[in-house]
Chain A
Amino acid sequence: MLAKRIIACLDVRNGCVVKGVQFEGLTNAGDPAALASRYNVEGIDELVILDVTATLEGRRALAATIRQVASRIFIPLAVGGGIRSEDDAAAALDAGADKVSLNSAALAEPSLLTKLAARYGSQAVIVAIDAKQTEGRFAVFARSGSTASGRSAVEWAREAADRGAGEILLTSIDRDGTRSGFDCELTAAVSSAVSIPVIASGGAGTFEHFLEVFTRGQADAALAASIFHFSEHAVADLKTYLHDRGVPMRL
């Protein structure tokens, strides 16, 4: 049976993981390749490198980071954050990423999804959708949640899938950073509207939150960052917890 995926997100700036990670035995907690190795041993199903760098110099460091991780860790690797053009996507994929995640760039130029899908295949193209509940609907925001796009999450998810996106990385702006649980309503609304997989993001705080988003939220995968940073065995423990409650997991 197809397993639900647990995905770890590494926020990377200038080649270093930004959020403090204190794993025992890691000589450099900020080293993305070392952290990725650790997650791999723990049984993480997939990695997302989120580039939070603004400068050109930092983006060159990103390619080196991708290369380091991809030459050591043989699980799917997605890269997002700085993908604004076909060239950015090509640079990330050539460095060894398997997928690129597009957010504001796809909203500004939806045909970019089609171009990348034609060139690399849909499996390499993730559309990242940041949404929040406003007046009973799920509104999509661009530019790190600062600009209303005027689109609804369900409508944009359907269009992005039609245009060639192979997966949806769906982040609840309301829940992001709160550790109060994923937005299961938002996730279920989008997941039931499209045939491509939906990765739920934003709000992970407890193991129960993952159970909810895989059941009530109909998510195909769930992404988190900080929850995995607090315990040495969080990934393995989480997967065992979910498996014991009937959620198909790769153990």
Chain B
Amino acid sequence: MAGKIRIVVAKPGLDGHDRGAKIIARALRDAGMEVIYTGLHQTPEQIVETAIQEDADAVGISILSGAHMTLVPRIMELLRDNGAEDVLVVVGGTIPQDDADELRQQGVAAVFGPGAATREIVEFLQGAVPA
């Protein structure tokens, strides 16, 4: 691999469920990635701004508030508007199957549900982010 994968782990929405985001952030760091964790209650605008400022390869969105069909498409749209559509977006959380399908159609690279192993997420990112 040429350089370390840079990933923004982001918590959009108003909920405070950050157990998953923190576990993922740590597992990605332990796997040798550069991890920027945004902290809680981020707006789509804040997340996209962070991704661009940090020159991130990927954004991992952790969302358990049920607002994924509002917030994730908004993040995708803002990335496109800012010419950052090459940033890989993955989503984790309680996302019903048909919502996950729709998010993938909108360009989300992968959706990980409850119980996904951190190893699975690490491997996905290592495979999907161009070295």
A and B: interacting chains: no
